[in-house]
């Protein structure tokens, strides 16, 4: 793989449940309302149930390489829906799903900062890892984070953590 690509370190692996204030030209106005967002999250995330995600295989988009995640049960989907409804009812949903609606579960392992020059190498990597079982994760909490596009450890700051019940 090319050196100019961004490869995530294991401590940077994450699953985005919902981009509450996604990176866009509108983020500054939304950040001013952060206390309102936190109040909604505090209410919606209180007493939530933990959920699991199974990871199997890799895939790629034109922007990234990802480990595929498959939620066990409906809790992640319900959580996302409940957050969207509550944020909408509070007048805070303008930026949610602006780029795309998050429905899947995945872990990004590399981002293409430049066009990928070694497509044959990538194709071989994807084919070799297409059915690899990467295990299962049991999500016992959700974190509200502030950070850069990559969610790099150098820039991420945790604003809140919401524990789930088992």
CA angle, 32 then 33 then 36, to 5°: 155
Task: Please check whether residue 39 lies inside any domain of the structure.
Answer: yes
Task: Please check whether residue 58 lies inside any domain of the structure.
Answer: yes
Task: Please check whether residue 41 lies inside any domain of the structure.
Answer: yes
**Total of domains in the chain:** 1
CA angle, 30 then 34 then 36, to 5°: 105
Q: Does residue 42 register a pLDDT over 80?
A: yes
pLDDT of residue 113: 78
Q: Does residue 31 register a pLDDT over 90?
A: no
Question: Per-residue confidence at 1, pLDDT binned at 50, 70, 90?
Answer: very low
Q: Does residue 26 register a pLDDT over 60?
A: no
Name 64's bridge partners: 111
Q: Does residue 166 register a pLDDT over 70?
A: yes
pLDDT of residue 44: 96
Task: Please check whether residue 115 lies inside any domain of the structure.
Answer: yes
pLDDT of residue 99: 64
User: Which CATH number belongs to the domain containing residue 115 in this structure?
Assistant: 3.90.1140.10
More confident call, 101 vs 124: 124
Task: Please check whether residue 70 lies inside any domain of the structure.
Answer: yes
- For the chain, how big is the Rg over CA atoms in Å? 17
* Residue range 102-113: mean pLDDT, rounded: 88
Percent of the chain with pLDDT over 90: 48
Task: Please check whether residue 1 lies inside any domain of the structure.
Answer: no
d(CA 51, CA 154): 28
8 Å CB contact between 2 and 118: yes
Domain ranges, residue 25: 6-163
Least confident stretch, 45-54, 62-71, 139-148 = 139-148
Q: Does residue 5 register a pLDDT over 90?
A: no
């Amino acid at each position: 793989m090319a050196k100019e690509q961004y490869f995530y370190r294991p401590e940077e692996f994450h699953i985005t449940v919902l981009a509450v204030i996604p990176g866009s030209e509108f983020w500054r106005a939304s950040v001013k309302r952060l206390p309102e967002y936190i109040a909604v999250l505090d209410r919606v995330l209180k007493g939530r149930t933990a959920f699991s995600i199974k990871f199997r295989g890799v895939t790629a988009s034109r922007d990234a390489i990802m480990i595929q995640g498959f939620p066990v049960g409906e809790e992640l989907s319900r959580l996302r829906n409940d957050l969207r409804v509550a944020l909408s009812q509070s007048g805070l949903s303008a930026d949610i799903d602006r780029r795309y609606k998050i429905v899947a579960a995945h872990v990004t392992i590399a981002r293409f900062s430049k066009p990928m020059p070694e497509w044959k190498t990538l194709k071989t990597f994807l084919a070799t890892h297409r059915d690899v079982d990467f295990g299962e994760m049991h999500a016992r909490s959700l974190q509200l984070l502030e950070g850069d596009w990559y969610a790099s450890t150098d820039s991420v700051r945790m604003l809140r953590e919401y524990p789930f019940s088992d």
